[in-house]
């Protein structure tokens, strides 16, 4: 624990991993997660696994894209969808 960040337990650290990896935490919570990961031999491997998994997904998503014909059919289907009942245009 650092003086600037409260200590958190393993469950809290793991619960915050995706938000931490996505940069979505406040400075206090981010610091608490980092402090926990620095000292916890049980949680750090989980952090490494999640970070590697997210990097893999990001690489796959940017490397593979649906063919243009498929994207066009999806957009056309969306445009042709009927209005939902009770949904009015502004």
DSSP string, 11-76: HHHHHTHHHHHTT-S-HHHHHHHHHHHHH-TTTHHHHHHHHHHHHHHHHHHHH----HHHHHHHHH
pLDDT at 67: 84
pTM of the model: 0.61
Calpha distance 15→11 (Å, rounded): 6
Pull the structure tokens for residue 57: 């997904």
* Sign of the CA dihedral running 40, 43, 48, 50: negative
Q: With 90 as the cut, is the pLDDT of residue 79 above it?
A: no
- Residues 25-58 have pLDDT tens digits of 999 999 999 999 999 999 999 999 999 999 998 8
* Sign of the CA dihedral running 25, 28, 32, 34: positive
Confidence of residue 61 (pLDDT cuts 50, 70, 90): confident
pLDDT at 87: 47
What is the percentage of the chain residues whose pLDDT exceeds 90? 56
Domains (range + CATH), the chain: 10-79 (1.10.10)
């Amino acid at each position: 624990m650092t003086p600037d960040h409260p200590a958190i337990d393993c469950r809290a650290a793991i619960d915050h991993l995706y938000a931490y990896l996505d940069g979505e935490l406040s400075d206090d919570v981010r610091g608490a997660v980092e402090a926990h990961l620095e000292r916890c031999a049980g949680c750090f491997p989980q952090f490494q696994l999640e970070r590697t998994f997210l990097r893999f997904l990001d690489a796959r998503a940017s490397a593979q894209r649906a063919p243009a014909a498929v994207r066009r059919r999806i957009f056309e289907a969306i445009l042709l969808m009927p209005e939902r009942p009770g949904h009015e245009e502004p």
